Amino acid sequence: PWPRWLVSLDLTLDLHDDDAGWDLRAFVTALGGTVPLMGYEGSMRPVAEEVVAARYVPGFHHLLLFDGECNLCNASVDFVLRHDRQQRFVFCTQQSPAASELLAAHGHSLPALGHEDDSVLLLTADGKLHDNSAAALRVGAELRWPLSWLGNLGLAVPSSLRDAVYAYVGRRRYAWFGKSSTCRLPTPAERSRFL
């Protein structure tokens, strides 16, 4: 809309040698470049996203301890992440040192529990440890309706029956759903929910 000799923009963007940013030169001039109007010259680098580690607050958070190598368990964690809108759950793999430390702080230990079928343990905000079907159903009971209703309904079933079904699935979960050779790694967006 106007002649370039009247007002012009000179823009140069050079990539740094480390490929992690640019040197930007931007100048606006008038009258064929003889009158400088404004300019900027400087380095541009993306701002590193700060990753905040999860913080477990006893009395507020529920700690969900899961088998990080179990594909069924990982899918269950993904499900809880999607439905835990109040972010009351913090997650930790049973294979991590943090799991042993937190259980010990509440008077429990993984070897003492000794259930090979347990793919999930729940340490509730009140410090109680739940395992087997009670852990899975209490997680559901803490989520929003209708999951809370289904979780509470499941808890009304006698524990001997619930735990028998839970143990049956637990013994076959690797065969049915597979096993990962490494523990689940949270995405950058999820990292603040994992210990």
Per-residue pLDDT reduced to its tens digit, 72-102? 888 899 999 999 988 889 998 888 888 888 8
What single string gives the DSSP state of each residue in 78-97?
HHHHHH-TT--EEEEETTSH
**pLDDT tens-digit map of 20-36:** 677 778 888 888 778 88
Single pTM value for the model: 0.66
Domain residue extents for the chain? 7-44, 62-173
Of 44-48, 95-99, 149-153, 159-163, the poorest mean pLDDT is in 44-48
* Pair 146, 138: CB distance under 8 Å: no
Which residue did the predictor score with more confidence, 139 or 120? 139
Given pLDDT bands bounded at 50, 70 and 90, which one contains residue 108?
A: confident
In this predicted structure, what is the pLDDT of residue 11?
Answer: 78
Q: CA–CA separation, 119 vs 149, rounded Å?
A: 23
With H, G, I as helix, E, B as strand and everything else as coil, classify residue 36. strand
In this predicted structure, what is the pLDDT of residue 83?
Answer: 92
Q: CA–CA separation, 157 vs 177, rounded Å?
A: 26
Which residue did the predictor score with more confidence, 17 or 126? 126
